[in-house]
Amino acid sequence: MPIVLELQDVDFAYTPGNPVLTGVNLRVESGEFVAIAGPNGGGKTTLLRLGLGLERPTRGEVRLFGEPARSVGDRHRIGYLAQRSHIGVHAPATVREVVEAGRAPMRPLGRLRREDREAADEAIARVGLEHLASRPVTRLSGGQQQRAFIAKALAARPSLLVLDEPTTGVDVEAQEALGALLDRLHSELAVTILYVSHEFGAVEHFVHRLVLVRERIVFDGAPNELPGMWHDPSHAHA
């Protein structure tokens, strides 16, 4: 299968002498559903930012879609759901307006076309929010807001869907529903999914691989191969 993301012998530090990541090697193939987990401050979000070309490694090489990550041109191939604290849900935009904004990078010099609106409607339907399409996002529950922003990420019909801490601020029921939704989207769209979180319970039964990061990759394999101690949520925060 084609390699979507590859990190080779990657080190990273924000300041000299304080490594965040050391000796990271990771390959993600097209069509995989991968959870990247670890403690807060363990380097998982930095690994994500390196993979998306948002940071430059101190040492090593990062390739995205076979190209150097920082120079990938077709950014619409990436559907990115940022952490909730960075999303900005206070604007009085409706679900449809938020999702249509996901098509804007494909039309930088002009207005949205009919095909863009159709793609947005399709994305809204895929996450089950058709009945709420005209409602302001601020009037949705936390779980519904997450679905709206997933729909925005899907609107450009990406080949890679990346979610950074998607369960923050949503209840357990909504987390379980999110895991099931991602499993269905993965199956229906054959999209590669990177799910980054300090805990992975919501997707434990759906992901192909679990990658645990604590400055380096300390585990990379099927969740059912994980040593029992790691299934205790307290270890995720250690």
Question: How high is the pLDDT of residue 237?
Answer: 39
The encoded tokens of residue 93 equal 């935009």
What is the tens place of the pLDDT at every residue in 117-143?
999 999 999 999 999 999 999 899 888
6 φ, ψ to 5°? Answer: -145, 130
Number of domain units in the chain? 1
The encoded tokens of residue 22 equal 């050391």
What is the residue range of 111's domain?
3-236
pLDDT above 70 covers a percentage of the chain that reads: 91
How are beta strands 3-15 and 59-64 bridged, if at all? antiparallel
Rounded (10°) CA dihedral 85, 166, 163, 108:
-50
The encoded tokens of residue 227 equal 């040593």
CATH number at residue 148: 3.40.50.300
Phi-psi region of 148 (alpha: psi -120 to 50; beta: other; left: phi over 0): alpha
Question: How high is the pLDDT of residue 73?
Answer: 81
Contact 187, 213 (CB under 8 A): no
Determine the residue type at 66. Answer: G
Distance of alpha carbon 105 from the chain centroid: 18
Answer whether residue 238 shows pLDDT above 50. Answer: no
| Least confident residue range of 95-99, 192-196, 203-207 | 203-207
What is the tens place of the pLDDT at every residue in 30-54?
999 999 999 888 999 999 999 999 9
For the chain, the residue count is 238
70 φ, ψ to 5°? Answer: -75, -10
C-alpha–C-alpha distance, residues 9 and 192, integer Å: 23
Structure pTM? 0.89
C-alpha–C-alpha distance, residues 74 and 77, integer Å: 6
What is the tens place of the pLDDT at every residue in 76-116?
899 998 876 445 555 678 999 999 989 887 776 778 899 99
More confident residue, 84 or 75: 75
C-alpha–C-alpha distance, residues 149 and 130, integer Å: 14
